[in-house]
């Protein structure tokens, strides 16, 4: 099929973005717009005893200062809503005096200007009866509970096969260690932003920075008592999402409530500090792993017991145990997940939820086991290669991880590694090399799309969907081009509007496989119609031909292998008198989804350089090699992979939302103190891939690549730090104080 697919096509929206012409959610020009600013709670647990809005009301230009005292009406209490999708969260919508986390919205100032709204918000006086919050995993075991199910597609929280005790007993070597990962808050460049515009009492348009416009539409409609069709959500461009914009959060509904109250369109943009609390986070995790093997390296037992947080009012379980269940071949395997209720905003999906912390712990444990066995860590992984999903007892849709290991080892120069810790030096710098496996599930959901040939010969394709900045506009353009048989330059692809055909949330790395399949099949349906139209058209060069003899290529329809007998699609539709011809597709995963287990795999190599005296660290070099089905665009794919890997550097060495244990609030809720790597912190990062199409996951062979790049990355770096220093830090981030302390 491929012509356009796979090419390193520049982003079709690149020019719009660099010239500022791409309209992000907060940038829509709306008449008579008012501005809302949230007053966040300054305590994490307790009750509001009184709110004094007198001074705030006096600010010039203020339209309303809203709190629970105003008893704004909802069609349903947020507490009574049953989740319709795994991304549905329980919201705080000024309905009562309860405070359940720090930075919870407790009031809202609405004014004619942003400045007036900010001033008014700063003058709202909230008095609390504060209780002592808890945000720690250091709690007695009986405080933890078994979750109903885990985030993602809802795997069970516990798994078991074989007999781990027996496996441990028969081993020649075993390790048991606890690995900790900290709270992290996703901070896309674009913070959350919503503009709510009412048209009468029952029609609402939301310009919303959303990764899932249909879920957003349904959630808002339910809470406000509207028909879903009466809510239109538009999300044309996103400045990143990483999972934070997957669920609908409180501010979206509050913005619509405020707009209804003041009877004007209202814009609400979250300032950076409010990214820490009301819009999800990656929970802290503590994973206790036991790993055991015979002298030849074959695993006899693997166990992972995971502790993580949820909120007091909602449940989200970070599925960190998944990699331990299925990544390696091992007869005795058990995992469990336990949750603690903490006084925090509900944790939620954060890039590679589960797999990111899960691969960190498992892949460090594998490194420790390799050292205990005196075996090369890459060899240990090859030795325990899983040829099927032993947890689900299903064959893989397609797996080429061995090819990734081979290619990666060769390109990185792994055979030149001296396994001895502290053995590779460069002057006063300790050098270390580490390796880890990467993986992420291949997800796909029902999705639809429509393709039309316009009278000028242009192919117009629409599908709801979203582009987080990942390149969705571009890959869909390529997929549609190949589906019809036209150059990509002849395709106009639109997304980000609930008036377009329904599509899933852009989460779980599923957009390419889900919406890509719909777009491809809609394009094929259009192609089919055009071929039939031409065959029936007495003036067409293919008039009367057999279907199988007709082809559309490069925008021309003609007899296969006979360029002289062809014409442009524009000529064909021009004669037809029809304004356009249309193909539609509504697709969902086939039976294959039940018969196979779909995962993408990869390998991460890292080189670190550490000052022997001061412990200062730098990741000099990273190489990731991925097996993720057909790669749709070599350029945007590379960006996705290396972007994920850079977040892996961040995960290993920098990111940490620090809670003040007394207040239950994040101390470093800004980008000055919430550390992420800058360009100077990132050495050479490269990504390669094994381009094996996976036709069992999608008709276009794609599996999706948004999340796999971060997986395994932190472990590769942590393992490299051990190799460099001989010191095993099992508590991320690895900061220099942890390295120099004894
Ligand atoms: Mo991703 S965390 O599923 O947006």
Please state, in angstroms and rounded to a whole number, the distance separating the CA atoms of residues 340 and 309. Answer: 5
Positive or negative CA dihedral for 76, 80, 83, 84? negative
pLDDT surpassing 60 at residue 1: no
- Residue 82's pLDDT is 81
Please state, in angstroms and rounded to a whole number, the distance separating the CA atoms of residues 101 and 397. Answer: 42
**Count of beta carbons in the 10 Å neighbourhood of residue 81:** 17
pLDDT surpassing 60 at residue 227: yes
3-class secondary structure, 173: strand
441 lines ligand 1 (CB under 6 A): no
643 lines ligand 1 (CB under 6 A): no
Helix axes 634-653, 713-725, angle to 10 degrees: 50
How far, in Å, from the CA of 205 to the mean position of ligand 1?
25
Please state, in angstroms and rounded to a whole number, the distance separating the CA atoms of residues 168 and 152. Answer: 31
Segment 616-622 mean pLDDT:
96
280 lines ligand 1 (CB under 6 A): no
How far, in Å, from the CA of 86 to the mean position of ligand 1?
12
443 lines ligand 1 (CB under 6 A): no
Pairing of strands 659-660, 665-666: antiparallel
pLDDT category at 153 given cuts 50, 70, 90 is confident
Atom of ligand 1 nearest to the CA of 246: 4
Atom of ligand 1 nearest to the CA of 506: 4
Token couple for 79: 């507490």
Taking the CA atoms of residue 374, residue 375, residue 377 and residue 381 in that order, the dihedral angle to the nearest 10 degrees is -140
From 345, 300, 299, 338, select the one nearest 319 (Cα to Cα). 338
- Mean predicted lDDT score pLDDT of the chain: 97
704 lines ligand 1 (CB under 6 A): no
647 lines ligand 1 (CB under 6 A): no
**Count of beta carbons in the 10 Å neighbourhood of residue 40:** 22
Burial class (CB in 10 A: 0-12, 13-18, 19+), 379: middle
How far, in Å, from the CA of 731 to the mean position of ligand 1?
24
508 lines ligand 1 (CB under 6 A): yes
353 lines ligand 1 (CB under 6 A): yes
Q: Is 315 a catalytic residue?
A: no
Q: What is the pTM of this model?
A: 0.97
Segment 557-574 mean pLDDT:
95
**Count of beta carbons in the 10 Å neighbourhood of residue 363:** 30
Please state, in angstroms and rounded to a whole number, the distance separating the CA atoms of residues 448 and 246. Answer: 19
Q: Give 51's strand partners.
A: 126
Angle at 523 between CA 522 and CA 527, to 5 degrees: 120
Please state, in angstroms and rounded to a whole number, the distance separating the CA atoms of residues 463 and 448. Answer: 7
- Residue 547's pLDDT is 97
Q: For residue range 467-480, what is the model confidence (pLDDT) as tens digits?
A: 999 999 999 999 99
Percent of the residues in the chain that have a pLDDT greater than 90, as a whole number:
95
| DSSP label at residue 145 | B
**Count of beta carbons in the 10 Å neighbourhood of residue 297:** 19
| DSSP label at residue 189 | S
How far, in Å, from the CA of 478 to the mean position of ligand 1?
23
- Residue 579's pLDDT is 86
Token couple for 280: 């999800």
Q: Please tell me the least confidently modeled range out of 2-6, 118-122, 461-465, 583-587.
A: 2-6
Q: In what order do the strands lie in the sheet with 556-559?
A: 550-553, 556-559, 562-568
Q: For residue range 32-79, what is the model confidence (pLDDT) as tens digits?
A: 999 999 999 999 999 999 999 999 999 999 999 999 999 999 999 998
437 neighbors 665 (Cβ within 8 angstroms): no
712 lines ligand 1 (CB under 6 A): no
- Residue 742's pLDDT is 64
351 lines ligand 1 (CB under 6 A): yes
Mutate which of 280, 441, 707 to test ligand 1's pocket (most atoms within 8 Å of Cβ)?
Answer: 707
86 lines ligand 1 (CB under 6 A): no
Mutate which of 151, 351, 443 to test ligand 1's pocket (most atoms within 8 Å of Cβ)?
Answer: 351
Q: Whose CA is nearest to atom 4 of ligand 1?
A: 243
241 lines ligand 1 (CB under 6 A): yes
246 lines ligand 1 (CB under 6 A): yes
How far, in Å, from the CA of 151 to the mean position of ligand 1?
11
- Residue 2's pLDDT is 58
- Residue 86's pLDDT is 81
Segment 576-597 mean pLDDT:
91
Helix axes 634-653, 355-373, angle to 10 degrees: 70
How far, in Å, from the CA of 506 to the mean position of ligand 1?
7
pLDDT surpassing 90 at residue 563: no
Taking the CA atoms of residue 456, residue 458, residue 464 and residue 470 in that order, the dihedral angle to the nearest 10 degrees is -150
How far, in Å, from the CA of 152 to the mean position of ligand 1?
9
Q: Please tell me the least confidently modeled range out of 145-159, 199-213, 512-526, 552-566.
A: 145-159
How far, in Å, from the CA of 351 to the mean position of ligand 1?
5
How far, in Å, from the CA of 244 to the mean position of ligand 1?
7
Q: Give 195's strand partners.
A: 207, 267
Token couple for 15: 């020019």
Mutate which of 87, 210, 238, 246 to test ligand 1's pocket (most atoms within 8 Å of Cβ)?
Answer: 246
Taking the CA atoms of residue 359, residue 361, residue 362 and residue 367 in that order, the dihedral angle to the nearest 10 degrees is 110
Please state, in angstroms and rounded to a whole number, the distance separating the CA atoms of residues 585 and 520. Answer: 8
Please state, in angstroms and rounded to a whole number, the distance separating the CA atoms of residues 588 and 521. Answer: 11
Please state, in angstroms and rounded to a whole number, the distance separating the CA atoms of residues 391 and 147. Answer: 19
507 lines ligand 1 (CB under 6 A): yes
Q: For residue range 280-323, what is the model confidence (pLDDT) as tens digits?
A: 999 999 999 999 999 999 999 999 999 999 999 999 999 999 99
Segment 451-464 mean pLDDT:
97
Q: For residue range 236-258, what is the model confidence (pLDDT) as tens digits?
A: 999 999 999 999 999 999 999 99
Q: For residue range 355-383, what is the model confidence (pLDDT) as tens digits?
A: 999 999 999 999 999 999 999 999 999 99
Please state, in angstroms and rounded to a whole number, the distance separating the CA atoms of residues 405 and 402. Answer: 5
- Residue 85's pLDDT is 83
Please state, in angstroms and rounded to a whole number, the distance separating the CA atoms of residues 449 and 463. Answer: 5
**Count of beta carbons in the 10 Å neighbourhood of residue 458:** 17
How far, in Å, from the CA of 352 to the mean position of ligand 1?
6
Mutate which of 283, 508, 643 to test ligand 1's pocket (most atoms within 8 Å of Cβ)?
Answer: 508
Domains of the chain: 14-21+445-588 (3.30.365.10), 32-132+189-240+245-275 (3.30.365.10), 346-443+594-740 (3.30.365.10)
Burial class (CB in 10 A: 0-12, 13-18, 19+), 741: exposed
Q: For residue range 680-694, what is the model confidence (pLDDT) as tens digits?
A: 999 999 999 998 999
The active-site residue out of 305, 355, 363, 707 is 707
Atom of ligand 1 nearest to the CA of 351: 2
Atom of ligand 1 nearest to the CA of 468: 4
Pairing of strands 333-342, 299-311: parallel
Positive or negative CA dihedral for 563, 566, 571, 572? negative
* DSSP conformation letters of 527-590: HHHHHHHHHH-TTSTTTT--GGGEEEETTEEEETTEEEEEEEHHHHHHHH--SEEEEEEEE---
142 contacts: CB under 8 Å, gap ≥ 6: none
């Amino acid at each position: 099929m491929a012509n356009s697919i796979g090419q390193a096509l520049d982003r079709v929206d690149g020019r719009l973005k660099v010239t500022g012409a791409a309209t992000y959610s907060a940038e829509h020009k709306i008449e008579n717009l008012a501005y809302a600013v949230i007053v966040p709670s300054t305590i994490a647990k307790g009750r509001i005893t009184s709110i004094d809005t007198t001074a705030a009301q006096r600010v010039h230009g203020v339209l309303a200062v809203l709190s629970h005292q105003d008893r704004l009406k909802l069609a349903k209490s947020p507490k009574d809503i049953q989740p319709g999708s795994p991304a549905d969260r329980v919201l705080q919508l000024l309905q009562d005096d309860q405070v359940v986390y720090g930075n919870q919205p407790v009031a809202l100032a609405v004014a004619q200007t942003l400045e007036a709204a900010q001033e008014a918000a700063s003058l709202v006086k909230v008095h609390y009866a504060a209780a002592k919050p808890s945000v720690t995993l250091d709690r007695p075991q009986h405080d933890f509970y078994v979750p109903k199910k885990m985030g993602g597609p809802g795997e069970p929280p516990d798994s078991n096969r074989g007999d781990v005790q027996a496996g441990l007993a028969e081993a020649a070597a075993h390790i048991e260690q606890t690995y900790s990962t900290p709270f992290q808050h996703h901070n896309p460049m674009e913070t959350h932003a919503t503009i709510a515009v009412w048209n009468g009492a029952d029609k609402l348009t939301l310009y919303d920075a959303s990764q899932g416009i249909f879920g957003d539409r349904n959630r808002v409609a339910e809470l406000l008592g509207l028909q879903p069709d009466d809510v239109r959500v538009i999300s044309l461009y996103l400045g990143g999402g990483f999972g934070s914009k997957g669920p609908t959060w409180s501010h979206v509904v509050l913005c619509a409530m405020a707009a209804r109250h003041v009877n004007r369109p209202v814009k609400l943009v979250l300032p950076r500090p409010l990214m820490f609390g009301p819009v999800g986070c990656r929970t802290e995790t503590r994973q206790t792993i036991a790993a055991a093997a015979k002298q030849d390296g074959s695993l006899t037992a693997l166990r992972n017991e995971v502790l993580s947080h949820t909120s007091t009012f909602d449940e989200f379980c970070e599925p960190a145990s998944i990699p331990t269940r299925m990544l390696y071949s091992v007869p005795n395997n058990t995992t469990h997940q336990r949750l603690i209720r903490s006084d925090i905003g509900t944790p939620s999906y954060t890039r590679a939820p589960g797999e990111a912390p899960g691969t960190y712990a498992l892949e460090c444990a594998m490194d420790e086991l390799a050292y205990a066995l005196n075996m090369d860590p890459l060899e240990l992984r090859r030795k325990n290669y899983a040829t099927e999903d032993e947890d689900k007892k299903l064959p893989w849709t397609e797996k080429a991880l061995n090819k990734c290991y081979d290619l990666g080892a060769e390109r990185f120069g792994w055979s030149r590694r001296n396994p001895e810790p502290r053995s590779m030096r460069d002057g006063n710098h300790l050098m270390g090399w580490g390796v880890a496996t990467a993986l992420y599930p291949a997800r796909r959901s029902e999705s639809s799309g429509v393709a039309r040939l316009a009278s000028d010969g242009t192919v117009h394709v629409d599908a709801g969907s979203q582009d987080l900045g990942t390149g969705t506009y571009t890959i869909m353009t390529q997929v549609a081009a190949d589906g019809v048989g036209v150059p990509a330059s002849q395709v106009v692809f639109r997304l980000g509007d609930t008036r377009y055909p329904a599509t899933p949330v852009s989460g779980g790395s599923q957009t390419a496989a889900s919406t890509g399949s719909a777009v491809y099949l809609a394009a094929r349906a259009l192609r089919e119609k055009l071929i039939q139209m031409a065959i029936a058209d007495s003036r067409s060069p293919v008039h009367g031909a057999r279907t199988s003899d007709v082809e559309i290529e490069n925008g021309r329809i003609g007899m296969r292998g006979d360029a002289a007998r062809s014409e442009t699609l524009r000529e064909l539709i021009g004669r037809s008198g029809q304004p356009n011809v249309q193909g539609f597709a509504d697709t969902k995963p086939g039976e294959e989804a039940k018969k196979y287990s779909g995962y993408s795999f990869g390998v991460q190599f890292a080189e670190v350089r550490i000052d022997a005296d001061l412990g200062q660290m730098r990741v000099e070099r990273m190489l990731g090699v991925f097996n993720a089905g057909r790669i749709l665009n070599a350029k945007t794919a590379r960006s996705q992979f290396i972007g994920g890997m850079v977040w892996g550097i961040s995960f290993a060495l920098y990111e940490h939302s620090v809670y003040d244990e007394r207040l239950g609030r994040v101390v470093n809720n800004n980008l000055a103190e919430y550390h992420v790597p800058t360009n100077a912190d990132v050495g050479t990062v490269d990504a390669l891939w094994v381009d094996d199409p996976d036709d069992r996951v999608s008709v276009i062979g794609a599996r999706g690549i948004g999340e796999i790049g971060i997986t395994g990355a932190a472990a590769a770096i942590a393992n490299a730090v051990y190799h460099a220093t001989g010191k095993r830090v099992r508590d991320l981030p690895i900061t220099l104080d942890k390295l120099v302390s004894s």
